[in-house]
A and B are shown apart, each in its own frame.
Chain A
């Protein structure tokens, strides 16, 4: 016997259904949990005896029917979505990636999450320029202007890295709120990026790499967003100026024609539509390093320049809004990642974190990349609380909410990497819960 999974109704989520996902306090497995309730819709397929289908008995479509191929029309609901009411200004908002439908570790560029601060520009690459200069003339002896084509002449590197908004899972800081994994963890994506090490460009401009401690990265969008980047990540060639993503040019929503790649660091530092790099010896304290992307702590102070995304994981199936039909073998699968390096272990618990079992990592665990895990679970038809917990190769273990809140409190919407719980009731309904 095995279970069948009824998918979550993400594509039916409206303002009204979000309001209907009221929070309830109840018992699961003898533990008090706070949960959201979410309605499910059936789209089960039924097994039937074999037939000769029409596509097997007549020719299909001609080549190049679509000049840029599209997903199957039967792949529904696999879309990035914004959360109704998230922001009053749609140009200053976010959309979430459909984690529940992702396979492997690469996010197709069309469903990459978005976070824009003043809308996304559609830039003609022939008119785009990258200016590199110093905080004063002593840092960069030959300030230069590069075209996109200039950068493509340089030796390229291609690397797979995750990118996560530091506000990912911020909705869950006080209690379980979002109905599905798309909204709890969907400010997360992973791509192969192709570009040029920033160090090469700095050297070409005569940069004093010994004195430089920081670079400022600035975008060409209306917000001209600026962020301070640590120089040592530039010196070890981790920081790239990318023009490629998943085998093609960056998508405009992801920074076309140029984007900074800062592996392991929160998405806001991966400045899109990159138009300027400044080299200096002091941090910049920009708007998005003082008014936003700062972490209020229990002592009433804010942590500033919190940039790293720490070890984290989430079960993407079964996950909130889905429903298990039947009992028996159930494949649990999910994603793990760490800004400190590679994923070493992922453990899974089906009893709310009392007992843990090591999951298998599918494929190779790459540094600062999404890593897929799976676990074979026997759903007996009794209530369960599913959790995953990642450990990275620095030995850092993903915390429970109790451990997380005991140090950082509940005020910060940023950098929440606590263990996610999915409650499964006796009827197989999966909801977002927190063990309290």
Chain B
């Protein structure tokens, strides 16, 4: 015997679910504190996100010889596998915060410390991607120690120096190329600097005309 009541009951269950008001809100699972602790490790250019820790030049030297030297060389100036870590900067560069060797033409290999504007970046990168064959294996103390030793190799820190989350931002003021960058250009597709972003709002710096006849291909802009 056909039982309407049962079918109506089934329809009553089905109908409300035919249109879901917000089908996406429950996708994904909440991230736990442990998830964030394990994965959210990046350190921003303004030093937000520095892990608690401390490392000395002396302990950095031991670690460097064990884990870094085979690729980066004993002094960090060698080109063994990758470009040099240190070298190419002067005491005058460190005072000015701008590396003079970048005046064209640029000669010779360019080292990490020639370019580096913020120490946060180096601390972040060593912890994230070094050593090459075993990235993310270093403790925060070891990352600070290696960073301190690299600064020492470039003559920016003495033998007794130690680096920590407490003095990292201040130590960044020693970097020879800390003022060597500009963001005033037309290649940032985000909010421009006049409203708190970066760049000039995509205004091109090279603006040729569409010449069709009797053009001079050798004339500058």
Contact = CB atoms under 8 A, between A and B. Distances in A.
Interface residues of B, number: 76
Interface string B114-153: 0111101110110011001001100000000000000000
Contact of B197 (A135, A213, A296, A301): A213
B204 A264 contact: no
A307 B188 contact: yes
Contacts of B181: 290, 294, 301-304
Nearest to B105: A411
A133 interface: yes
Interface in B80-122: 81-82, 98-100, 102-106, 112, 115-118, 120-122
A224 interface: yes
A283 B206 CA distance: 26
B6 interface: no
Nearest to B29: A145
A398 B206 CA distance: 9
B74 interface: no
B183 interface: yes
Given A154-B27, A296-B106, A303 B40 contact: no
A407 B206 CA distance: 7
A204 B42 contact: no
Contacts of A396: 204, 207
A147 B29 CA distance: 9
A214 interface: yes
A144 B30 CA distance: 4
B212 interface: yes
A135 B43 CA distance: 10
Interface in A293-324: 294, 296-298, 300-308, 310
Interface residues of A, number: 90
Contacts of A204: 24-25, 27-28
Nearest to A220: B39
A397 B209 contact: yes
A353 B197 CA distance: 38
B205 interface: yes
A27 to B, nearest CB: 14
A305 B183 contact: yes
Nearest to A203: B24
B187 to A, nearest CB: 4
B189 A265 contact: yes
B114 to A, nearest CB: 9
A268 to B, nearest CB: 13
Given A145-B28, A307-B189, A354-B214, A282 B46 contact: yes
A389 B135 CA distance: 44
A230 interface: yes
A406 B205 CA distance: 11
B36 interface: yes
A321 B36 CA distance: 53
Contact of B215 (A308, A345, A356): A356
Instruction: Please classify the interface of chain B as helix (H, G, I), strand (E, B), loop, or mixed, using the class held by over half of its residues.
Output: loop
A398 B210 CA distance: 9
Nearest to A142: B30
A54 to B, nearest CB: 53
B62 interface: no
Interface stretch (A15-23, A37-45, A273-281): A273-281
B104 A131 contact: no
Nearest to A276: B39
A167 interface: no
Interface in A237-284: 264-265, 275-276, 278, 280, 282-284
A308 B187 contact: yes
Interface string A103-133: 0000000000000001000000000000111
Contacts of B220: 402-403, 405-406
Given A285-B120, A304-B182, A399 B208 contact: yes
Contact of A345 (B24, B117, B210): B210
Given A224-B135, A296-B104, A307-B189, 16 more contacts: A135-B44, A144-B31, A147-B28, A216-B42, A226-B124, A230-B188, A291-B115, A301-B102, A302-B115, A304-B181, A304-B183, A308-B188, A354-B213, A354-B215, A355-B215, A397-B210
Interface of B: 23-25, 27-31, 35-36, 39-40, 42, 44-46, 48, 81-82, 98-100, 102-106, 112, 115-118, 120-122, 124-125, 128-129, 132, 135-136, 180-183, 185-191, 196-199, 202, 204-221
7 shortest interchain CB distances as A-B pairs = A230-B190, A285-B45, A353-B217, A406-B220, A144-B28, A143-B31, A306-B187
9 contacts: A131-B36, A224-B135, A231-B190, A291-B112, A302-B180, A303-B187, A354-B215, A397-B207, A408-B205
